[in-house]
Amino acid sequence: MQKTPARLHLHIENRRQSLWIYHITDELWAAAAMRHKKLAGRLDVTIGWDGDILDAALRTADCMIAPNPPLVWLPSDIALTNNSGAHGAKCEDYCAMAMLMLATRMPGMLASHRAARWEPLFTTPIAGKTALVIGFGDLGSAAGRAAKKLGLKVIAVTRSGKAGRPADAVYKVSRLESALPQADFVVVATPLTPQTRGLLNRDRLALLKPEAGLINVGRAAIVDHDALRDMLIAGRLSGAVLDVHAPEPLPAESPLWTTPNLVVTPHISCDDPRYIDILLDRWFANFARFAAGKPLLNQVDRKLGY
Amino acid sequence: MQKTPARLHLHIENRRQSLWIYHITDELWAAAAMRHKKLAGRLDVTIGWDGDILDAALRTADCMIAPNPPLVWLPSDIALTNNSGAHGAKCEDYCAMAMLMLATRMPGMLASHRAARWEPLFTTPIAGKTALVIGFGDLGSAAGRAAKKLGLKVIAVTRSGKAGRPADAVYKVSRLESALPQADFVVVATPLTPQTRGLLNRDRLALLKPEAGLINVGRAAIVDHDALRDMLIAGRLSGAVLDVHAPEPLPAESPLWTTPNLVVTPHISCDDPRYIDILLDRWFANFARFAAGKPLLNQVDRKLGY
């Protein structure tokens, strides 16, 4: 273990075009520094926007907080960590809500609402149904907790075929086809990697039960949203709730806005408005480990890409 | 205890204008009789519709299953029971969904959806907030269980000032004004009685937090829906979810359909499509108690009206 220098230069890089909740402003940094006084006292901090001071900062920076750092150019002796775990609580709420909305046939009743039509749809309680959660990291395990809380059986689908609590059963992604027909709800909660891109294609979506519901809180490119739209128009599935889209913002002319039995939300499923406070608290916790010579949490596996 | 006669005449009365899920058809009776063979063997059953055979049936009937029997003419030596408890599981799902939708600001985002506008709203997790549940019987305790499951604090408001689990605190209805300002969510789950009619009037609704949300699964006449509508139009409250209306079906010209931040559902919150199966199973359980000379469950207190 190397000895940590007494003072370090932290550079924080922001992108103006990203949403305000992701901006690490002077004010939010100052508040975090107050919460972590002793550690913050060892840091010289620069805050840049859209690369305005990036070249100069990188000449002296010992560490950096940045959105979407490109993995390809990052030297291999630089430790890279992510913010995994910051999204759990909100994601759990959103997935519970989306599963209950699908179980209650809310997408159909919202269409009746828009047309001022009284059209009751009666549904059985959700307990005892089955949730299939694709990806069981930060978001997926939150989806699993949501499902367990509602009395569902949870089947996880993971790369390794392993998953911790609260999964009742686990399938390797290579056996996805055997898992899909069992699902009353599918929650897509995996990161986008070359392996997950296009995972839920038209053929695999066709394996779902006629009354299954689909929720995507992962990334749009994992699911063939066009095939999903065709199924919903044909009256297949009980509905879908999509929080992630391509591109974002979803353009006003996207046919998804008017697809029947589809609820579109604007990528809000897993973000707390206190996101930066949480991120900086977690960064300080990792910095404390770094200063103590302990291994860092949330290290990114560059080969897997997350 | 009187001795029960060997054979009894059960008359079942239906109303055609009620929803199909409430109809006790020949088929549903036959299925229930199969599930409860021995007890059913003691019954001579007549099934009437809209009073077509009612007069003749009442001359010989020992017991009757009927929708909304008028309490005023019922002789006081007739035991009257209701179906309390049949609605719990669905009500729990609906209340959890409605609280999560309000916490996530779904009413606002659904309006954006209708207009094909990408307008993210970010909200903190629901855990730790407070649900105020007015009425803590079958529906209210289900709402309480939903709230506890989501990590909320539960305050019950009851006539007696007493409430069982899962209430964390209880207020007498006479102290409703002190309870209302504490609520992040209000769930109206009390029966309609002379005492609850108009309970949440304009003045009391004004005591709610600016960001509170309101859910009505009880009866429309308990809440001043016009005052609620005025508040929602003025941007007060985070939203409302109303499952009960006056009249029902809610007419197409009702302004509630187009009120901002309001979700209207067509009285589906607490009904399982297997409602009659559940009702008949519960009726047979009570009939078994009657046959054994035991006191009946779910006896209606005629003075309270429920």
What are the tens digits of pLDDT across the range B78-90?
A: 888 888 777 889 9
Buried b / exposed e across B64-100, counting CB within 10 Å, b at 16+? bbeeeeeeeeeeeeeeebeebebbbbbbbbbbbbbbb
Amino acid letter at A266? P
Q: Are the beta carbons of B106 and A97 separated by less than 8 Å?
A: yes
Order of strands across the sheet with A63-65? A43-49, A8-14, A63-65
Q: Is B197 a catalytic residue?
A: no
Are B268 and A94 within 8 A, CB to CB? no
Minimum Cα–Cα distance from A149: chain B residue: B149
Q: Nearest by CB to A266, from B97, B118, B266: name it.
A: B118
> What is the predicted pLDDT for the residue at B70?
64
CA-based nearest residue to A22, from A68, A84, A81: A68
Count CA within 13 A, CB hemisphere, residue B198.
3
Handedness of CA B111, B114, B118, B120 (dihedral sign): positive
Please, are residues B30 and B43 in contact by the beta-carbon 8 Å criterion? no
CA dist B201 and B189 (Å) reads 16
Which residues of chain B are modeled with pLDDT < 70? 1-4, 69-72, 306
Nearest neighbour of B265 by CB, restricted to A94, A109, A150? A109
Active site residue A211: no
Q: Per-residue b/e over A84-122, b at no fewer than 16 CB within 10 Å?
A: bebbbbbbbbbbbbbbbbbbbbbbebbebbeeeebebeb
For B129, half-sphere exposure in the C-beta direction (CA atoms, 13 angstrom radius) is: 25
Q: Which of A11, A105, A145, A219 is catalytic?
A: A219
Q: Which of B11, B219, B225, B282 is catalytic?
A: B219
A104, A125, A149 member nearest B89 (Cβ)? A125
**Interface ipTM > 0.90:** no
Beta strands in A50-202 (DSSP E): 63-65, 130-134, 153-158, 169-172, 185-188
Q: Do A268 and B116 touch (CB under 8 A)?
A: no
Looking at the complex, report in whole angstroms how far the Cα of residue A183 sits from the nearest Cα belonging to chain B. 19
Q: For residue A1, what pLDDT is reported? A: 45
Q: How many CB pairs under 8 A join A and B?
A: 129
The nearest alpha carbon in chain B to A271 belongs to B122
The rounded distance, in Å, linking the Cα atoms of B55 and B224 is 40
Of A93, A114, A273, the CB nearest to B122: A273
Residue in chain A closest to B255 (alpha carbons) equals A116
Cβ pair B264, B257 in contact under 8 A: yes
- Distance (Å) from the C-alpha of residue B303 to the closest C-alpha of chain A? 33
CB-based contact A252 B116, cutoff 8 Å: yes
d(CA A74, CA A124): 52
A117/B93 Cβ within 8 A? no
Q: In Å, how far is B192's CA from the nearest CA of chain A?
A: 22
What sign does the dihedral B20-B22-B26-B27 (CA atoms) show?
A: positive
Which residues fall within 8 angstroms of residue A264, CB to CB, at 6 or more apart? A242, A245, A250, A256, A257, B113
- Residue B248 falls in the annotated catalytic set: yes
List, in order, residues 6 or more apart from A226 with CB less than 8 Å away.
none
d(CA A138, CA B285): 46
Question: Which of chain A's residues have a Cβ under 8 Å away from the Cβ of B276?
Answer: none
In A, which residues are within 8 Å of B249 by CB distance?
A: 118
Domain residue limits, chain B = 8-83+273-291, 88-264
Confidence at residue A82, expressed as pLDDT on a 0 to 100 scale = 86
How many Å is the Cα radius of gyration of chain A? Answer: 22
How would you write the pLDDT of chain A (306 residues) with one tens digit per residue? Answer: 456 678 999 999 999 988 888 999 999 999 999 999 999 999 999 999 999 999 999 999 999 999 876 666 778 788 888 887 778 899 999 999 999 999 999 999 999 999 999 999 999 999 999 999 999 999 999 999 999 999 999 999 999 999 988 999 999 999 999 999 999 999 999 999 999 999 999 999 999 999 999 999 999 999 999 999 999 999 999 999 999 999 999 999 999 999 999 999 999 998 888 889 999 999 999 999 998 999 999 988 877 777
Q: Check: CATH 3.40.50.720 for A88-264?
A: yes
CA proximity to B171, closest of B159, B161, B181, B180: B161
Q: Is the separation of the CB atoms in A245 and A215 below 8 Å?
A: no
Start-to-end C-alpha separation, chain A: 25
Sort out which chain B residues have CB atoms less than 8 A from A114's CB and list them.
114
Among candidates B93, B110, B254 on the partner chain, residue whose Cβ is nearest the Cβ of A126: B93
What pLDDT score was predicted for residue B1? Answer: 45
B250 touches B257 (CB < 8 A)? yes
A287: which 2 tokens? Answer: 């910095």
pLDDT in tens, A27-82: 999 999 999 999 999 999 999 999 999 999 999 999 999 987 666 677 878 888 88
Largest CA-CA distance found in chain B, in angstroms, rounded: 70
**Nearest partner of A187 among A224, A138, A234, A240, judged by Cα:** A240
